[in-house]
Structure 1
C-alpha cells in the first residue's frame, strides 16, 4: 500500500534526491495530464507555470497570474495523483523575503511537498535580483521550508535572461545552498561541460531542464554529469498545443481529419483517468 499522506509523499520525494541515480520529474499542467503521467510510471511530478499560463490564455511571465490561481492549479494536480508534487512558485510572489516565506507556507498548505523560487525580477532592464537580496529571499524560504517540512529548490535564472555567466550562476547556487536550499537549479545551461562543472561545484542535488530549444541530452548523459533530477518545464504543454495546432490547421486548410489517427481514443483517455483516480483518496 502506497502511503498517500503528505508525510509519506515527502519521504519518497526526499529519497529520490538522496539517490542513487537520476530521476525525471515531468511537468503536468492540469489534473488530466497529471493522471496520465502518473499512470506512465514517473516517480514524482512538478507543476509548470508556463503550461498553466498557456492553458489560461496568458503569456508566461511573473505577472501572468496571482498566487491563488497558481496554487489552486497545484492543488488540483496534488489531488489527481498519489505521487509527490513540487511546484513552480516563480519568484515567490513578492520581492521581499517575507512574501517569499508566505508563499512557501501557502504551498505546503496546498499539499505540495516542494517548490522552486527563482531570482528573476521580471524586469527586462534589471532581470536578476542582486546576490544579497537573492540570498535573503532563499534564506527566508529555507527557514519556512524547515518549519513546514518542504523541499526547497533555488533557481538561478541568468541563462534565461541573456546572462550566460557560468561563474556567477555557480556563485549564486553555492550561496543559495549555504542559505538552506535543498535542491539547486539553473535552467538554460547549454553544454554538458557546463552542467558537469556546475554539479561538481555544489554538494546538493542539481535539477536540469530538458525540452527547451538547443542541445538535447539523454538521461544517461545527464546522469554522467552528476545531475540528480531532470524536469521538462512547459515543454509537454507546448507539445500538446503543437498537436492541437497541427490538427486544427489540417481541418482549416485541407478540410480533412486524418489527425484523429494519432489521437488517444476515448477509451484510452478514460483508462488513464480510471487507473490514476484509483490512487486518489479525497482528504489525504
Structure 2
C-alpha cells in the first residue's frame, strides 16, 4: 500500500454515500470480500483472536495481530484498516510502536478503543499513534472507538452526551473519525452525527437500518464488526452438528466452490 492508498481510504468517508466496510479475519475472508466488491476492508480483532484459538479482549499480542494483518493486506489490493483494540501496549510509546508496525504492513487505518480506559488514556494513545504516522509520512486514518453504549459506561439517558463529549476529546487528540458500536436507533444515530464533527462509524447487523438509511441519518461508515466471522463459525458448528446428529450434509449447501476459491487465492498470490 502507498500514501495514495491512505488518501483513497480517507476519501471513501462521505456524508452522501456511507462506506460499507466488511470485516475480515484472515487472508481468505479478505480476498472474498474484495471479490464481492468491497472498496476497502477492515479487520476484526475478535475474528483474528478466535482463528488463533484465543478469546477476544486484548488477548492478542502485537506480533500475532500484525502478522495476521500483514497476510490480509497482502491478499488484497484495496485499502485495509486494522482493529488494534487498545493499541497492544501499556504506554503511549508502545502504542506508537504498534501504529508503526501497522503502517509497515501497508494498512492505512486503525481502530483504537477506550473500553474501560479513561478518555484521557485513549487520547494519549491516539496522539502517540498520530505522531508515529506523521513520522512515517502516512495519512493514517485513526478511528476512535468509544464503548459508552456497548459497555454501558453512562446511564442510558446520558449515553449520547457522554459519547459526544468523548468524541471531542479523541478528535482533539488526533483522531479522524469516531466509531460508536451499539446504537442503531435512528434517533440516536441522528443525534450522534449532529454532535460529532467527523465521520461517524456505526456497527450494523440483522435488524439494523440499511446502509443507505444509516447514511441518511448521518453515518459516514458502516461496518459489521465480528458479524461475518460469527456467521461463518455458525456454519461450521451447524454442519458438524448435522453430520454427528443425523449423518446428513445439508448445511454444506451454498459453500464457496473449491476451484473458485483456489483460483481466487492463486491470483492473489501471483499478484496478477
Structure 1-normalised TM-score?
0.88
Whether 1:97 and 2:92 are equivalent positions in the alignment is: yes
The runs of 4+ residues in structure 1 deviating greater than 3 Å are: 274-278
Q: Deviations over 1:234-281 (max 9, x none)?
A: 111110001111111110000112233322221232343345456x37
- Which residue among 74, 81, 94 is the counterpart of 2:76? 81
What is residue 115 of structure 1 aligned with on the other side? 110
Whether 1:39 and 2:29 are equivalent positions in the alignment is: no
Q: 1:51-62 maps to which residues of 2 (within 5 A)?
A: 51-62=47-58
Q: 1:1-284 maps to which residues of 2 (within 5 A)?
A: 5-18=1-14, 20-62=16-58, 64-120=59-115, 128-148=116-136, 149=138, 150-163=140-153, 164=156, 165-211=159-205, 215-274=207-266, 276-277=268-269, 280=271
- Alignment RMSD (CA, Å): 1.8
- The answer to whether the Cα contact below 8 Å between 1:35 and 1:277 also exists between their aligned partners in 2 is no
Larger CA deviation: 46-55 vs 183-192: 183-192
Structure 2 segments unaligned to the other structure (5+ residues): none
**Matched residues in 2 for 1:277 and 1:226: separation?**
38
Structure 1 segments unaligned to the other structure (5+ residues): 121-127
- The answer to whether the Cα contact below 8 Å between 2:82 and 2:107 also exists between their aligned partners in 1 is yes
Q: Deviations over 1:108-127 (max 9, x none)?
A: 1121111011112xxxxxxx
What is residue 125 of structure 1 aligned with on the other side? none
